[in-house]
Structure 1
Amino acid sequence: MKANWNTRYDSKEYQYGTEPNDFFKKTLSKLAVGRLLVPAAGEGRDAIFAAQAAWEVYAFDSSDTAQGKANKLAGERSVNLHYECIEAGSVRFPFESFDAIALIFFHQMPEERRKFHQQCIKWLKPGGKIILEGFHKDQLGRDSGGPKELDMLFNKDELTQDFKGLQIDYVKEKEYVLNEGPLHQGKAFLIDLVATKSII
């Protein structure tokens, strides 16, 4: 898997662009600044945007090629990231470490996905938020991006079950025209979710 992602990112061009995901940007701008985790951070677009907005940003990805490009972009934009090259299943953070966790187009097989989403809940501080955007199952067969396996795509029922125990603030399935670098282009079927961990 690491080799596949390194091959994908092995280009001077940023494969998903250098500007943040629209839904992430819009949602993060409504939150008080704090500590943010960006799993599968890729070439760094979302992590760097958050760092520019004064968030303390922790990020990881399995691709060291992506990490290198993210660190280069962070340097150009004069921000610091805590960026680690590691597989999602090996990541360890103290419980209740983050004010927000951004899961932007982070797709896994179902069993891995459920385990990781449950881990994210543990990492959230009380009052912390999950910000998620990904490809819906209706994206299958479209050429605008995303996994080619149905099981790796999302639907509302799966995600609300994954984050059971959190307050679901917002969930929406939508058609949207992507313009995020060469690999996310055109009309896509997405799902957005925002969820909050109870303070009590």
Structure 2
Amino acid sequence: MKSIWNERYQNEDYQYGKSPNDFFEKNINNLTLGRVLIPAAGEGRDAIFAAKMGWEVEAFDLSEMAKEKAIILSKDNKVEISFEVADVQSINYPENSFDVIAPIFFHLPEQLRKDFHLKCIKWLKPGGKIILEAFTKNQIKNTSGGPKDLNLLYSKEEIAEDFKELKIELLQETSRNLNEGPLHQGKADLLQFIGTKI
């Protein structure tokens, strides 16, 4: 899996663009500055945006190439981020570490997904928020990006169950046009979630 992502990110172009994900940008803008975790941060678009806003940013990704491009982007934008190369099973942070955790288009097999989302709840501070956007199972018929495996696409029921310990502020399936670099273009079926740790 690591080799696939390293190969994808070898291209000079930023495969998902340099601008932040719209859903992440809109929702983090409304929050008091603090510490944010960007899982599967890729080439750094969301991490760099948060750092420019004044957030203290931790990020991780499986791909060394992703980190290289994220660090280049951070220097171009004159901000600093902490970026670790790690897989989802080995990564760990202390409990109550983050004000926001933002898994954006981070698709995992069922058990890995459940385990990771439980860790996210532990890592959140009380009052902290999960901001999540992912592809729904309807995305399988679209050509705008995302896994081509139904088991890696998410449903409202799965996300509601994963984050049942949180206060759900938003949980919806929606469609919109993506314009996020070469690999996210066109109509997409999306799941959007915001939850708060009580």
Post-superposition shift, 1:133? 0.2
Aligned to 2:130: 130
Aligned to 1:18: 18
Distance of 2:33 and 2:14 partners within structure 1: 27
* Helix, strand or coil at the partner of 1:121: helix
Aligned to 1:58: 58
Distance of 2:60 and 2:164 partners within structure 1: 25
| 1:155 pairs with 2:152 | no
TM-score of the superposition, structure 1-length normalised?
A: 0.98
The residue identity in structure 1 corresponding to 2:142 is R
Distance of 1:3 and 1:141 partners within structure 2: 26
The residue identity in structure 1 corresponding to 2:62 is S
Any stretches of 5+ residues in structure 2 without a counterpart? none
Post-superposition shift, 1:92? 1.2
The residue identity in structure 2 corresponding to 1:59 is A
The residue identity in structure 1 corresponding to 2:136 is H
Percent of aligned pairs sharing the same letter? 54
The residue identity in structure 1 corresponding to 2:135 is F
C-alpha RMSD of matched pairs (Å)? 0.4
Q: 1:155-193, CA deviations, whole angstroms, 9 ceiling, x for partnerless residues?
A: 100000000110000111001100000000000100100
Distance of 1:151 and 1:176 partners within structure 2: 22
Deviation beyond 3 Å, 4+ runs, structure 1: none
Q: 1:18-76, CA deviations, whole angstroms, 9 ceiling, x for partnerless residues?
A: 00000000000010000000000000000000000000000000000010000000000
TM-score of the superposition, structure 2-length normalised?
A: 0.99
Q: Between Structure 1 and Structure 2, how many residues are aligned?
A: 198
